[in-house]
Amino acid sequence: MSQKLEEVFRSALKDQEVPFDPKAWESMSARLDEVMPVKPKGGSNSLWIAASVAAAVGLATLGYLSSGDDTTQQAKSNDQVVTEKSSTLKEEKVEVVSSNNIAENDEPKEVQTVAKVEENAITNTPKKPVAEEPQVGKPEESFTPPVEKKIERPEKPGNTTVDRYVPIENYPISGAVCQFDTEVISNPFKLPLTFTAPSGKKQTIEAEGKRKIKFDEAGVYTLNVGDKRPQTLTVNHKPVFDFEAVKQYYDDGVPTYELSATGEIETPVWRIKETNITYKGQNVEIHLFNKGYTEIELTSDNASGCATTVAKRVNVTEDYNLRPSNALYPNDPNSDARTFLPTALKLRDTPFTMVIIDPRNGDIVFSTNDPNNPWDGRNKSTGEMVDMDVVNYRWSVTLEKPLKGEKSKYSGTVVVSSQRQ
């Protein structure tokens, strides 16, 4: 143990020199004169020698202390060695103290004192970072960063996860959607479903709820499920148009209305709601036979497949009954007044059969299917004039080819009068 300590100190203090300072020597000499005045010659030589030795030791000590900076600078080159040796010294010191085989008054106790002094000296000396000495024969280890472990958390029972991207086919609406359409939509998700119009107007269906969504605007709508990535839905433009119905007329013997449409018309189809009769064309003529309000619809679509329907009500002022007269005057100079045949049968090119019946006995007194052969008031069986101003004879017409919405049988009464009233 002692040999190791000696080697440590010897190595640390090797080549150390203390520079000479004349002022330090003069200061020490003055102090010695005060403590031990110089005696006259002839004194004891032993005292002079002792004083000289003491002065030399003090001078050396003072010089060492006054040149601490220089000593420190010179010792810096050996800091690494001293530090390592000091660490070794501490370890050996612990071994000495903890050993039960060494007595308190043995030599290692002295070693402890020296090690403590050296440790304090090293502690008071400024240190610089010391690089680790490479270990001979041991390969240098490369640094590998630690791999972060991902903790998989199991889902709670009953927790439904909605994907960040929800495919459009999973949304509760698909296909062509047109402006002004109203859809009753069910939300199958466990999160709110929001429809945002191009103007920013929002309509929301609660989780697993249902409501009517009206698409008032054409353009791109945004569909959001909670805070997930949105989908888009294109709402196509619908054609806009209108129509009007011209008052009825009887140019061909039937009640006729002319319908005219204006606006974005591409494939117009008209429908008489009462009879479900349809017509095609932007301007058409239709026939309405029954008195009252009749609803007419006009529908047209466009290239995007969106259709618009406009409906209006038309007021029919009278029931159509072939427009007959209610009397005939055999003695009237006007030929048309002397005969009876409904006016419509004269104008219409349609096959018919008309009969005149005596209400008193049900006999048929006249019949015809020729628009040029009207009834002149005579009984066809006898050739004589029927009773005038007495009976309202019944007439009945059957059409073989009635028009759309038209009935096939018409009837009424006519009286044979001797003179106009």
Q: Residue 215 domain-assigned?
A: yes
Neighbours of 296 (CB within 10 A): 21
User: Which of 265, 281, 316 is the last residue before a domain boundary?
Assistant: 316
Judgement on whether residues 107 and 33 belong to the same structural domain of the protein: yes
Q: Residue 321 domain-assigned?
A: no
Judgement on whether residues 292 and 377 belong to the same structural domain of the protein: no
What is the predicted pLDDT for the residue at 167? 47
Q: Residue 69 domain-assigned?
A: yes
CB 375 within 8 A of CB 366: yes
User: Which of 68, 88, 123 is the last residue before a domain boundary?
Assistant: 123
Judgement on whether residues 252 and 206 belong to the same structural domain of the protein: no
Neighbours of 395 (CB within 10 A): 20
Judgement on whether residues 254 and 312 belong to the same structural domain of the protein: yes
The CATH number given to whatever domain includes residue 175 is: 2.60.40
Give the span between the Cα atoms of 414 and 393, in whole angstroms: 5
Judgement on whether residues 115 and 79 belong to the same structural domain of the protein: yes
- AA identity, residue 96: V
Write the burial class of residue 112 (CB in 10 Å: 0-12 exposed, 13-18 middle, 19+ buried). middle
Judgement on whether residues 10 and 85 belong to the same structural domain of the protein: yes
Cα three-residue angle 240-297-235, rounded to 5 degrees: 35
**Cβ neighbours for 409, distance < 8 A, ≥ 6 positions apart:** 396, 397, 398, 399
Judgement on whether residues 39 and 110 belong to the same structural domain of the protein: yes
Judgement on whether residues 291 and 394 belong to the same structural domain of the protein: no
Helix axis angle, 45-66 to 22-35, nearest 10°: 140
Give the span between the Cα atoms of 243 and 281, in whole angstroms: 12
User: Which of 187, 206, 236 is the last residue before a domain boundary?
Assistant: 236
Residue 87 structure tokens: 């660490």
- Exposure class string for 121-138: b at 16+ Cβ within 10 A, else e: ebeeeeeeeeeeeeeeee
Residue range(s) defining the domain that contains residue 105 = 2-123
Judgement on whether residues 408 and 332 belong to the same structural domain of the protein: yes
CB 221 within 8 A of CB 215: yes
Give the span between the Cα atoms of 24 and 16, in whole angstroms: 19
SS3 assignment for 239-281: CCEEEEECCCECCCCCCEEEEEEEECCCCCEEEECCCCEEEEC
Domain count, the chain: 4
Per DSSP bridges, beta strands 292-301 and 269-272 are: antiparallel
Give the span between the Cα atoms of 154 and 168, in whole angstroms: 28
Q: Which long-range contacts (CB under 8 A, 24 or more apart) does 244-249 make?
A: 245/296, 245/312, 245/314, 248/288, 248/316, 248/317
Phi, psi dihedrals of residue 365, rounded to the nearest 5°: -95, -15
Q: Residue 161 domain-assigned?
A: no
Q: Residue 150 domain-assigned?
A: no
Q: Residue 396 domain-assigned?
A: yes
Residue 289 structure tokens: 């036979």
Q: Residue 369 domain-assigned?
A: yes
Q: Residue 140 domain-assigned?
A: no
Judgement on whether residues 27 and 112 belong to the same structural domain of the protein: yes
Neighbours of 347 (CB within 10 A): 16
The CATH number given to whatever domain includes residue 285 is: 2.60.40.10
Ranges of residues in the chain with a pLDDT under 50 are 41-44, 65-132, 134, 136-139, 148-169
Q: Which of 398, 386, 385, 392 is nearest to 327 (CA)?
A: 392
Judgement on whether residues 231 and 290 belong to the same structural domain of the protein: no
User: CA neighbours within 13 Å on the CB side: how many for 329?
Assistant: 11
Residue 116's Cα: distance from chain center in Å? 76
- Dihedral over Cα of 73, 78, 83, 87: its sign: negative
Give the span between the Cα atoms of 301 and 304, in whole angstroms: 8
Judgement on whether residues 208 and 252 belong to the same structural domain of the protein: no
What is the predicted pLDDT for the residue at 120? 42
What is the predicted pLDDT for the residue at 341? 96
